[in-house]
Amino acid sequence: MEIAVVGSGYVGLVAGACFADSGNEVYCVDKDEKKIEALLAGNIPIYEPGLKDIVARNAKNGRLKFTTSLQEGVEASQVIFIAVGTPPGEDGSADLSHVLAVASGIGKYMNGPKVIVDKSTVPVGTAKLVSDAIAKETSHDFEVVSNPEFLKEGAAIDDFMKPDRVVVGVPSEKSAQVMRKLYAPFVRTNNPILVMDVVSAEMTKYAANAMLATRISFMNEVSALCEQVGADVDQVRIGIGTDSRIGMSFLFPGIGYGGSCFPKDVQALIRTAHQKGLTFHVSEAVERVNNAQKRSLVEKVVKHYGSVEDLKGKHFAVWGLAFKPRTDDVREAPALVVIEELLAAGATVCAFDPEARHTFADAIGEHEGLRYSDTNYNALPGADALLICTEWNDFRHPNFEKLTSSLKAPVIFDGRNLFGIEDMKTRNFTYYSVGRPVVKPND
């Protein structure tokens, strides 16, 4: 099948590469000339495990093409995916300007019947807007389908190739058949292709991400109470997660969620509810808890040293800048909040991340008190304490002797609960984590 994917960012590039890998001829379209030049040269603009190899293989075989010409992609394709960004506006609603601009362009260049697929995360009612925008530009037959993505950054290739389910919102059986055929190679183990109406598919994406965000914020609230009463949130998490009605997923406490999906999608869901005269009390609380949780690690630092003023002149090492491991994405990353607050208090920071150094530097800008290290251990010398913001596997089993000899004092603020409490009790560290008792030397 001939496919065009408009937008070569995270969702579009993964989708295009995976569709090409199943034998389709795919045109990845992007108006960013530098991005397309990089892709043509074999350079991948994002870090995602396995993506570089799959792009290179299919580009070499001629199944994956890159172009800045929307006309070329539209005219050559039967199915056209819209996978451009939908950043949040000032009021929290999704900005659909890029989506609708692409829709108009598709209509302008249509040369026959097409299936247009909304792959971008978009609010309920977007398919109708896309359809209207296309219809203004063409007399050709077309149908607009909603096909939300459920890719986890760091595991996107596996998620696409072996999805839990594929959600497809269609206006007719005709487009449903096209989508079933397209996704058939990815559901050979009988994971379902869920065909539903377009509006329900659009709603499914936001509801799914809001539910996952809710679990995270709930556990973070529980962790705060555990700290006050002396409970261990890890034990509580196991105690509730083994209930078959609840399950273990997304019950890990930390310093808040980030990334391109959860914050934006929760905001958009709240905004959509407001537009319909509803108040989403739970989702609004989820967002408040998450915003507060991103500041919780610095609050522990302040409490340890006495006051915000006491942070002036202190120097901290920070491990982890990406919002989660196995990605270089720093959008809404808790580390942004942590480091900005440390710098604002007059502290200096040396930070390390295996992949996200450059994206973080672009996001936070230049700061006199912020520098970056080439290894996690090189970030430590002279630091008053270590803060951990991302749960990279590289950090789970450090050389604690190096930590002790490099840090001014053996103090760790662990925002991801990487180390066991009992283990830390034997290592003569002052150790703060999330939802667990503070460990101090000689405890």
* pLDDT tens track for 62-82: 999 999 999 999 999 999 999
Q: Residues 165, 255: one domain?
A: no
Mean pLDDT value across the chain: 95
Q: What is the CATH number of the domain that holds 218?
A: 3.40.50.720
The one catalytic residue in 226, 261, 350, 389 is 261
- Structural domain contains residue 373: yes
Give me the mean pLDDT over the 411-420 stretch: 97
Which one, of 391, 407, 408, 400, lies nearest residue 424 by Cα? 400
Q: Of 146, 178, 196, which residue sits at a domain end? A: 196
Q: How far is CA 324 from CA 62, 166, 293, in A?
A: 33, 24, 15
Query: Are 153 and 329 within 8 A, CB to CB?
Result: yes
- Phi and psi based region of residue 172 (left: phi greater than 0; alpha: psi -120 to 50; beta: remaining): beta
Taking only the tens place, the pLDDT of each residue in 82-101 is 999 888 776 777 789 999 99
Q: Residues 165, 46: one domain?
A: yes
CB atoms closer than 10 angstroms to residue 85: 18
Packing angle of the helix pair 262-275, 198-229 (nearest 10 deg): 120
- Structural domain contains residue 130: yes
**C-alpha to C-alpha distance for 82 and 149, rounded to whole angstroms:** 12
Determine whether 261 is an active site residue: yes
**C-alpha to C-alpha distance for 222 and 236, rounded to whole angstroms:** 9
The angle formed by the CA atoms of residues 269, 275 and 280, to the nearest 5 degrees, is 45
Q: Residues 73, 103: one domain?
A: yes
Q: Residues 286, 350: one domain?
A: no
**Which pLDDT does position 187 carry in this prediction?**
95
Q: Residues 177, 38: one domain?
A: yes
**Which pLDDT does position 93 carry in this prediction?**
76
> Would you say residue 104 has pLDDT above 80?
yes
**C-alpha to C-alpha distance for 103 and 109, rounded to whole angstroms:** 10
**Residues of 187-222 as b/e, b for ≥16 C-beta within 10 angstroms?**
beeeeebebbebeebbbbbbeebbebbbbbbbbbbb
**Which pLDDT does position 40 carry in this prediction?**
94
- Structural domain contains residue 443: no
Taking only the tens place, the pLDDT of each residue in 190-230 is 999 999 999 999 999 999 999 999 999 999 999 999 999 99
Give me the mean pLDDT over the 414-434 stretch: 95
3-class SS at 154? coil
Query: Are 16 and 29 within 8 A, CB to CB?
Result: no
CB atoms closer than 10 angstroms to residue 38: 15
DSSP label of 385? E
Q: How far is CA 399 from CA 376, 377, 384, 423, in A?
A: 11, 9, 18, 13
**Which pLDDT does position 91 carry in this prediction?**
72
What is the per-residue DSSP string for 306-356?
SSGGGGTT-EEEEE--SSSSS----TT-HHHHHHHHHHHTT-EEEEE-SS-
**C-alpha to C-alpha distance for 59 and 72, rounded to whole angstroms:** 17
- pTM, full prediction: 0.92
Give me the mean pLDDT over the 240-257 stretch: 97
- Structural domain contains residue 272: yes
- Structural domain contains residue 437: no
- Structural domain contains residue 241: yes
**C-alpha to C-alpha distance for 30 and 8, rounded to whole angstroms:** 6
Q: What percent of the chain has pLDDT over 90?
A: 93
**Structural domain for 190, as ranges:** 2-196
Query: Are 430 and 414 within 8 A, CB to CB?
Result: no
**Which pLDDT does position 121 carry in this prediction?**
84
Q: Residues 299, 341: one domain?
A: yes
Which of 99-108, 128-137, 148-157, 176-185 shows the lowest per-residue confidence on average (mean pLDDT)?
148-157
Phi, psi of 115 (to 5 degrees): -110, 120
Number of domains in the chain: 3
Q: Residues 260, 127: one domain?
A: no
**C-alpha to C-alpha distance for 360 and 262, rounded to whole angstroms:** 19
What pLDDT band is residue 442 in, cutting at 50, 70 and 90?
A: confident
What pLDDT band is residue 168 in, cutting at 50, 70 and 90?
A: very high
One-letter identity of residue 123: P
What pLDDT band is residue 443 in, cutting at 50, 70 and 90?
A: low
**C-alpha to C-alpha distance for 437 and 228, rounded to whole angstroms:** 9
**C-alpha to C-alpha distance for 226 and 236, rounded to whole angstroms:** 9
Q: Residues 307, 389: one domain?
A: yes
Which one, of 139, 143, 192, lies nearest residue 165 by Cα? 192
- Structural domain contains residue 263: yes
